[in-house]
Amino acid sequence: MLPSLFYCNFADKIIKEMNLEEKLVQSVIKTIESLYGQTVDAKAVQLQTTKKEFEGDLTLVVFPFLKISKKTPEITANEIGDYLVKNESIVEKFNVIKGFLNLSIAKNTWVSTLNAMLADDQFGFKTATADSPLYMVEYSSPNTNKPLHLGHIRNNLQPQQAKKEITW
């Protein structure tokens, strides 16, 4: 198994690169304003990647909105989730675990996002500037006069994965 440094979660990268998280934050702000008649700051909207043991793509922490809603965490989360599913095309479904609202991003949102990535020839590339950090990736060169083993494969693959992570 590769070290966690080289672990890449593709969905997390898409969410960040295509501003899905920012779109969802704006949707939550609009939802709170519509449901409870009060505006909230974008900093109050806390989105996290949903834990693997739960269904969903992003998790909204509902606790900051309890003073506004004057309801329990479960009721507040259900109201926000219902509103998002009915009024925002980005959210397909939701589930509530205590004070956490797990949101599933709609499949058509994923498809349109991936199509936009595919259409953009420069997606994933960044132009180097004078302030860009320099990286050195060291590649292994095993002694070919000795038998190769799994350690050699690992040492050959790690720099390749590091290069992919840096260039993403």
Residue 6: its pLDDT value, please? 35
Mean pLDDT of 63-79: 92
**pLDDT tens column, 24-66:** 999 999 999 999 999 999 889 998 888 888 998 889 999 999 9
Domain edges within the chain: 4-110, 126-167
Domain 4-110 has CATH 3.30.1360.70: yes
Total Cβ atoms within 10 A of residue 88: 19
3-state SS assignment for residue 101: strand
Strands of 86-141 (E only): list them: 91-97, 100-105
Q: Which residues, other chains included, contact 77 with Cβ-Cβ below 8 Å and sequence gap of 6+?
A: 60, 62, 96, 99, 100, 101
**pLDDT tens column, 83-131:** 999 998 889 999 999 889 999 988 998 888 888 888 888 777 778 788 8
Helix, strand, coil abundance in the chain, percent, nearest 5: 50, 10, 40
